[in-house]
Structure 1
């Protein structure tokens, strides 16, 4: 059957589920695996930090590790958006005495406080704590269930939210919370987040000496003229994943260079641009993704970012005749700096979600 004859959802899933193992991807996965394998090898738990810019692939690495670990244990990783028949999600292993969760991923909400993070942790464990519980009560409950459900590794995603935004915790307070989880339940912890997440790690020597690795996932280099390089390998995989019968040319050096510039070399950003362009092509009945569609998708994506300067056609990397990577990098850096200033406002008065108050 031709790709164009498949259902829209199935066609787009081929891009959104794309996974290309690169050197940084492997290195980040190895750190998570080593942290997991360190469970109960020391008197206290150890931690690791895997950080990177938005779109670097941090969450993808964690989800892939969860899926691999589930397969090794003879079970499956259930996404939170599709819980099982018992309303459970995550990595769940059935045993004679019930079930266990060897690895638990917890998303730190954008307005997370220390207390809110404990609510989120308990929620991931399947426990709905009382809203009027104290932080001490929540920690005791979390410790009990972490041990009862035999959690070996805790993965905190978007960890930077703990020290950003509404009623932020200081880096020292966040470090104290992580330290308590390392000491009493003796779980292993991996923190994923933006680069400044490491402020938590450096806030106190006590957490620092329990850290076994710190890694920042780098972007691809724009070595489009190296056919066997990581980036061109990725572009070829992206071209193959496109849900069209005609080639779009994403694996050609000229187009690959424009993709790299628009996405700053980050996997997640490049896939997002390509997926958006593919949606436009499918909905309009077009046979492939063109430079014009990529330019429209890129313009739409950047326009939707809060407080960002709109990408006009005269600087859009997919629409200009001669693309100069160095020149555009300066423009992109300015736009990203504006976005960072608007999103990382320390102590901003943003209403906290009901569940994390």
Structure 2
């Protein structure tokens, strides 16, 4: 495979379609797989929460599960007509099948909860997604009956709600949200709620609803990848990945973040390559990896967005791989001042600022997105090398 022979857009599509199998992505996929396996096997469905901060990749992880499931469906019934429409506000795409006998079968339904959602509009969105057109002034009981009928007719197995925190931010309280979710679960459908951690307000405090407590019992949190200088620099000053060392050096433990970087750089499997270049961009090099982690604060979605924008610029400039200069340009384009641009800092400044938690993570007390501490002697070793 030669990426240089591919069109600019095809190379971006390649990168945009890739999901790195971090431990949290695998955890979400396993969680959703178990839920889906149990769909329509009991009198009632159940479900759970997939939560995480903006940019951690929670929706991307759920989307990866649904994409794999869609391929399984297509392999089993290659003669069917399959539809997977895109929604502008989520990467999660539903799975619809059209058959001659049963008509539309909506195996996985996806609904994005809009900001400032109201009960009527939310119920109407659920109905429309199932092909039910409600009257301008509809009766709630009749609307629920139509929804239940279509869920059964279309053999809906799973319903995924994204941006669920909007329930707690608008005028729709948890009891109203539970009315809809309860009906769906009683139809033997599995429910997955995806959103920011604040969506747990649905099952906390005085306004909590018993119908949603079962969802709280099953939840998966997608967190930022942790990183410390120890991951790249040993106590004796040895640097991970240098010629005198190997990736299996006992001085360096594998971590989810170092695996993330290695996966970006892996050239052993052409189908597994993430960055669409014919040469490695050496993201695993400590001085690049630490900058990338700091720029995205460990959030996979944010780091991948930086890499995506840098890739676009690099292809435009006919570069054979990414380097610090194009990464700095992409990061600058996101609105970052040059003085705060991690990719423009000299190594001594990078090392000095790396150990300083960001204002945001310090305010939240978020240890997972705060770098590990390291003594000045270790910093001096690296500074002398560069």
Would you call these one fold, judging by a TM-score over 0.5? yes
The 3 A distance-change label for structure 1 pair 54 and 243 is same
Quick one: which of 316, 319, 330 aligns to 2:344?
Answer: 319
Are 1:147 and 2:143 an aligned pair? Answer: no
| 3-state SS of paired residue (2:185) | helix
Partner residue in 2 for 1:265: 298
Describe the superposition over 1:261-304 as per-residue Cα deviations: whole angstroms up to 9, x where unpaired: 11121211111011011112222333332223222322322x3x
Tell me which structure has the larger Cα radius of gyration: 2
Partner residue in 2 for 1:182: 185
Quick one: which of 267, 278, 282 aligns to 1:249?
Answer: 282
Matches within 5 A, 1:1-357: 2-73=2-73, 74-75=76-77, 78-81=83-86, 90-95=94-99, 96-165=101-170, 168-183=171-186, 185-202=187-204, 203-209=208-214, 211-222=216-227, 224-225=231-232, 226=252, 228-239=254-265, 240-301=273-334, 303=335, 311-321=336-346, 322-323=349-350, 324-327=353-356, 329-333=357-361
**Aligned alpha-carbon RMSD (Å):** 2.7
How far the C-alpha of 1:98 sits from its partner, in A, is 2.5
TM-score (norm 1): 0.80
Partner residue in 2 for 1:340: none
Runs of 5+ consecutive residues of structure 1 not aligned to the other structure = 83-88, 304-310, 338-357
Contact 1:278 1:289 in 2 (8 A): yes
Contact 2:44 2:185 in 1 (8 A): yes
| 3-state SS of paired residue (1:50) | strand
Contact 2:200 2:216 in 1 (8 A): no
Describe the superposition over 1:239-265 as per-residue Cα deviations: whole angstroms up to 9, x where unpaired: 442223343221212211111111121
Describe the superposition over 1:168-225 as per-residue Cα deviations: whole angstroms up to 9, x where unpaired: 3123332333223223x23211100011111113312332135551121111111543
How far the C-alpha of 1:136 sits from its partner, in A, is 4.1
The number of equivalent residue pairs is 319
Contact 2:168 2:198 in 1 (8 A): no
Runs of 5+ consecutive residues of structure 2 not aligned to the other structure = 88-92, 233-251, 266-272, 366-386
TM-score (norm 2): 0.74
**RCO (CA 8 Å, sep 6+): is it higher in 1 or 2?**
1
